[in-house]
Amino acid sequence: MKKYLVGMYELFYRIIFALPRIPPFDALKSLFLKGVGARIGVRNTYYPGVWINSGRNLDVGNDVDFATHCVVTTDGGVTIGDRVLIGYGACLISRNHTIPGGRKQIFGAGHDAAAVKICSDVWIGARAVILPGVCVGTGAVVAAGAVVTKSVPDFSIVAGVPARVISVRE
């Protein structure tokens, strides 16, 4: 029965988040997220294909732009400030699989969770990955394809795998 309910939730979610990014549909998407426990600000934009799972422990500010195919996992907690751009296919991951010690089996080893915080006025480039426990500081830019494993200072520009500071916005 649980798998059936989860499947129905995912189907309903996919239908709602397939709608175009126009204000009435964006309001419906925000309302859906509020219904599963998220705190959502105003004037947020959700391109078709956004995947936010599960929505609990999610706090989104105002004027946030979620581009097509971005993924946000919220079980570890995700906070997103105001005026944030989240690029195409970017991933904000607050919960990930545990890597067991030794040669123990990975499947079924459990999960590790840690909060992700994206401060205000941040741009996360296309296909960037923000891992659990990371804070991206105010005014920072995360380059396309970067994998952010450590927190990013305010007004820094980071790039690479793993991401490192390549410049500071003056």
CB 81 within 8 A of CB 123: no
Angle between helices 2-16 and 23-35 (to 10 degrees): 160
Known catalytic membership, residue 97:
yes
User: What length is written for the chain?
Assistant: 170
Which residue out of 97, 104, 111, 169 is catalytically annotated? Answer: 97
User: Beta strand 156-159 with 164-168: parallel, antiparallel or unpaired?
Assistant: antiparallel
Collapsing DSSP to helix, strand or coil, 7 comes out as helix
Q: How far apart are CA 29 and CA 165, in angstroms?
A: 34
Residues whose CB is less than 8 angstroms from the CB of residue 135 and which lie 6 or more positions away in sequence, other chains included:
116, 117, 118, 119, 151, 152
* Catalytic annotation, residues: 97
